[in-house]
Amino acid sequence: MELRARNHVPALTGVLTAISLALVFGAVLGAVPEGTLPRAPAAVVAAIPTVNAAISVLAIGTITSGWRAIRRGNVRTHRALMLVSLVLFVAFLGLYLYRIALEGPAPFPGAESVYTFVYLPVLAVHITLAIVCVPLLYYVLLLALTRPVSEIPATNHRRVGRVAASLWLVSFALGLVVYAMLYIVY
């Protein structure tokens, strides 16, 4: 299995990206039929944005620490931290999509001018970066999982990983700005 996947990393990246984005857009656009998902208690659903903000802070820490670890040559720690970052991302996304599928997007409670000139641009960049990160993350993950550590430097893992990690960090940070504007500032 590993050998077959190793020879088809770009194709697998494309397939996984298409499936992931279809799930995301399906939930965001309301394609999940009502009653399909079990309904958690209202307090649990209401807590999801705050839990996701905490997950984002943790993910920023693990991505940054993983980046530092690889710069110091500590491959084992880097790998562990990046896998933790991936698990945090999956948890974040699962919770986000669950809440969106149940309740739809949260309305912006602030002034129209702030909504138009601050909130929407920040949200647009956040969403764009999150979408762009999906194939990059799959690509570097598949490169890392289908090769021995000694072969990874000969791949695009380092170059693409730098871009992916940078965009991922900015996306998580902007997500925290969106959270603050929706649930703290207003």
What pLDDT is attached to residue 37? Answer: 92
**3-class secondary structure, 106:** coil
| Tens-digit pLDDT profile for residues 139-184 | 999 999 999 999 999 999 999 999 999 999 999 999 999 999 999 9
What is the chain's alpha carbon radius of gyration, rounded to the nearest angstrom? 18
3-state helix, strand and coil shares in percent for the chain, rounded to the nearest 5? 80, 0, 20
Q: Is the confidence at residue 1, as pLDDT, over 60?
A: no
pTM: 0.91
pLDDT band at 3 (very low <50, low <70, confident <90, very high): low
What pLDDT is attached to residue 82? Answer: 96
User: Which domains does the chain carry?
Assistant: 2-185 (1.20.120)
In DSSP notation, 21-78 reads HHHHHHHHTT-SPTTSSPPPPHHHHHHHHHHHHHHHHHHHHHHHHHHHHHHTT-HHHH
